[in-house]
Amino acid sequence: MAGAPHQRPRVNLLVDLTRLEKSGKFSELASWMHTYHSVRGVPLVVLYVCCGTLQLPWAFQVWRGKGTPSPAQLALNLLRTVPQELLAGKRRPRLHADGGFERADFIQGVLARGLDIVIDVRCTRRLPDGRQVRDLMVRGSLVQPKGLHQTMYISWVWLYRDKEPEQRFVMSNLNLGGVDLARLGKRRWRIEAFFKTIKGRFGLERFAQHSQ
């Protein structure tokens, strides 16, 4: 009896705002250097493509600071560079992002492109009844966070860093149940940690590391 036909792995996309930390004077990068979250350097919005065991950086854009397109807008621009052939298939692609991209226009833009979304959400984000996300008692709750036009499912996990537990919230348009949604959130953090590791190993943090 013939085996079941091979099913192509689901394509997962991940957007991340990272920084090439710099100190000193860099005349060539003067217009690119900004301080963000107390870190001075070149802020990059990076899009990664993950399919099965394949995980690779796809494209990036430099965020040039206030008064220019936001990181969320740059991320939507990067999504447009992904060929539709890569996203086609029976298994709907998913976009993973951290809480820096939880703007309504970004979430709606992702869903409009036919992608599902799994995204971090601030614990202080308000709900229509005045509560905050951290006040939810049931994993997988269906709510409509303030500022969004659609309902989302929210769950959470506990991460242990330096032996201190940290509660992280994740939301999605997918009705996966609280436990599975939390697992998806954990998977994104593992992928993000992987790319932060290879950034160091390939020396990206030393890009243009000469100053005047």
Please determine, for residue 71, whether its predicted confidence score (pLDDT) is greater than 80: yes
Using an 8 Å Cβ cutoff, are 126 and 104 in contact?
A: no
Q: Which of 191, 207, 201, 203 is nearest to 56 (CA)?
A: 191
Q: What is the dihedral of CA 190, 192, 194, 196, to 10 degrees?
A: -140
**pLDDT tens column, 25-46:** 555 555 555 555 555 677 889 9
Q: Which of 64, 8, 74, 58 is nearest to 34 (CA)?
A: 64
Find the helix or strand (DSSP H, E) in which 161 lies. Answer: strand 152-161
**pLDDT tens column, 113-166:** 999 999 999 999 999 899 999 999 999 999 999 888 889 999 998 887 677 888
Using an 8 Å Cβ cutoff, are 52 and 91 in contact?
A: no
- State how far the Cα of 50 lies from the Cα of 9, in Å rounded to an integer: 9
The residues near 193 (Cβ < 8 Å, ≥ 6 apart) are none
The residues near 5 (Cβ < 8 Å, ≥ 6 apart) are none
pLDDT band at 202 (very low <50, low <70, confident <90, very high): very low
Quick one: pLDDT at residue 186? 79
Can you read off the two tokens belonging to residue 201?
A: 């190993």
Q: Which of the 8 DSSP states describes residue 132?
A: B
Using an 8 Å Cβ cutoff, are 102 and 119 in contact?
A: yes
The topology under which CATH files domain 11-119+176-206 is Nucleotidyltransferase; domain 5 (3.30.420)
- State how far the Cα of 40 lies from the Cα of 18, in Å rounded to an integer: 11
Please determine, for residue 199, whether its predicted confidence score (pLDDT) is greater than 70: no
Mean pLDDT of the chain, nearest integer: 80
